[in-house]
Amino acid sequence: MPAVGLGCMNLSHAYDVPPTPEAAERLLLTAVEEGVTLFDTAALYGFGANEELLGRVLAGHRDRIVLASKCGMTGIDGRRVIDGRPETIRRTADEALARLRTDVIDIYYLHRLDRAVPVEESVGAMAELVTAGKVRALGLSEVSAATLRRAHAMHPIAALQNEYSLWTRNPEEGTLAATRELGVALVAFSPLARGFLTSAPPDFGALPAGDIRRGMPRFNERHYPANLALRSELEKIADETGLTLPQLALAWVVSRGPHVVAIPGTRSVPHLRESLSVLDLDVSGGALETAGWVLNSATVHGARYNEATLAEIDTECFGRAG
């Protein structure tokens, strides 16, 4: 599998206003044409709309792609709900299969650990889906190395999806090493720092009320100016290396190990191609090391989530929200 796939969340969910169905379809089909094999979605994204989009557009290309989705966190009555109970996982898997227009999901993740349900119970229900032929492989999302090991003892885990980028280094506290040791792929979501390391960083003041970055401390008035200054330093490194900033940022992520796969999201065909170009680049180790020195867990300003969201997440953490 190539080291760069496609995260599909922002085609239906979380960031700004979703693109038109026609624009989203064009992006997905271009990704197939450009050789993308891993497409990542979830029941939560658009409260089912993202799975429906991928099902409608990609059904005719099913034999060419790896289709990944997630359970354990969905939208109910307009609210995000974490629910890892076995009966919920069984039901939402059938709903996902219908929306995705497929008989089997290639990788099925537990989107969040439900702290009221032992991970062994959630993974046990997911393992039943493998036995039933509805799922090929299991994954976990936003969990710690300890939880990964518990789950892996219950049933082999093929992939762990955690946020990983120059400014989010949580995997380096345990899961990067644990996935390497266990033979698990580490799938890095938001490798371009939620748009911060793209060619046009978001303007916090212009973000609509529903954009999830409004609730993220790194984008608020207190921290964002300092982070933009760090971004300027990274742009200098990229320019000196003959790269764009997104290319430098993605190259850094995929250089973290042969088992690391990045899934940047985009709504732009040119940006999609820019991300995929990283697969053909030979970036000097010195440039990557310098980039990692400029922006990292010690230099970034603000936590990646607010206090309420941090409390929901099982990953190793670098500190509290600010």
Q: Which residues pair with 73 in a beta bridge?
A: 82
Name the residue among 95, 94, 131, 124 with its Cα closest to residue 110: 124
The single residue listed with the structure tokens 């099925």 is 108
Dist. CA 115–CA 279, nearest whole Å: 38
Indicate if the alpha-carbon torsion angle 305, 220, 297, 289 is positive or negative. positive
CA distance 3 to 187: 9
Sequential DSSP letters for 231-283: HHHHHHHHHHHT--HHHHHHHHHHTT-TTEEEE---S-HHHHHHHHGGGG---
Quick check: 5 and 36 in contact, CB under 8 A?
A: yes
- Hey, what are 44's tokens? 């939560």
What's the angle, vertex CA 261, arms to CA 194 and CA 258, rounded to 5? 140
On whether the CB atoms of residues 105 and 93 are closer than 8 A, the answer is yes
Q: How far apart are CA 298 and CA 306, in angstroms?
A: 18
User: Which among 15, 45, 164, 305 is annotated as catalytic?
Assistant: 45
45 classed as catalytic: yes
- Radius of gyration of the chain from Cα atoms? 19
Q: What is the spatial distance between Cα 5 and Cα 175, in angstroms, rounded to a whole number?
A: 20
Q: What are the catalytic residues?
A: 45
